[in-house]
Amino acid sequence: MSRTDQLSAVFAALADPTRRAILAELANGDATVTELTAPLPISMPAVSRHLKALEEASLISRVRSGKWRASHLEAAPLRDAADWIERYRRFWDESLDRLEAHLADVQSNQSTAAAPDAATTPTHDKEN
């Protein structure tokens, strides 16, 4: 699978809130389907289908130990997704910095235009 296809698979898997909840659980350590089903309001077969989607996106791996089959979080695909998002975060940060500088210039120009010029402001002397 190409890197672009892998990234698409990761984002498609992350689009589902149940899968994100499963990944959050796996961030605490490996877990079986039974353990992952406990906090979720869905059936064990539904969790198994979500695990299959996560495994196809390479976000988890499954290891068999005797009769137990545990799921393990794989961080590399998440890092690739975070790196991709980071480029756009920098773009927005730079855009916001430019907007801030532009607004500061506009405000400065408005302040300068609104301030009375001492040379053109008439002075009134009081006569005693």
37 token code pair: 């089903």
| pLDDT per position as a tens digit, 14-64 | 999 999 999 999 999 999 999 999 999 999 999 999 999 999 999 999 989
Neighbours of 26 (CB within 10 A): 21
Map tokens 């009081």 to a residue: 126
Distance between CA atoms of residues 94 and 87, nearest Å? 11
Going from N- to C-terminal start, the domains of the chain cover 3-74
Distance between CA atoms of residues 36 and 45, nearest Å? 11
AA letter at 17: P
pTM above 0.85, yes or no: no
Mean pLDDT of 7-19: 96
CATH number assigned to the domain with residue range 3-74, chosen from the 4 options 3.40.50.300, 1.10.760.10, 3.40.50.10470, 1.10.10.10: 1.10.10.10
Closest CA to 15 of 81, 75, 70, 84: 81
| pLDDT per position as a tens digit, 26-37 | 999 999 999 999
